[in-house]
């Protein structure tokens, strides 16, 4: 996630409104570490809720870290999808 803004800048280099969005996203979420703080809390909650959910089934509980990793990757993908939707909205 650390290089997310730079990666999207390459894609949206010809779209000034998308670059303005990236500037705001970079300042508010990346430079201020707000995204890291938010995700860290979400990851902890994902782990706790998944652990509680899987603890009931011993076989599933063995897969705890795989299930948690999948949920975390899904959350990260939501961030990328949100940025892509901003690109689609600003750069037809």
What are the mean pLDDT values of the chain's consecutive 10-residue runs (92 residues total)?
84 91 86 80 92 86 90 92 94 84
* Separation in Å, CA 58 to CA 22, 45, 53, 71: 44, 21, 11, 19
Cα 48 from Cα 85, distance rounded (Å): 30
What pLDDT, on a 0 to 100 scale, did the predictor assign at position 61? 85
Sorted by where each begins, the domain ranges of the chain are 4-90
Would you tell me how many other CB atoms lie within 10 Å of the CB of residue 34? 12
**pLDDT for 73:** 93
What is the spatial distance between Cα 51 and Cα 40, in angstroms, rounded to a whole number?
A: 16
- pLDDT value at residue 3: 83
């Amino acid at each position: 996630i650390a290089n997310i803004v730079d990666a999207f800048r390459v894609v949206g280099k010809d779209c000034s409104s998308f670059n303005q969005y990236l500037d705001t996203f970079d300042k508010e979420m990346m430079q201020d570490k707000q995204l890291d703080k938010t995700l860290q809390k979400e990851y902890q909650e994902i782990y706790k809720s998944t652990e509680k959910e899987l603890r009931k089934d011993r076989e599933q509980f063995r897969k705890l870290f795989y299930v948690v990793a999948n949920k975390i990757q899904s959350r990260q993908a939501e961030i990328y999808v949100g940025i892509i939707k901003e690109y689609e909205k600003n750069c037809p």
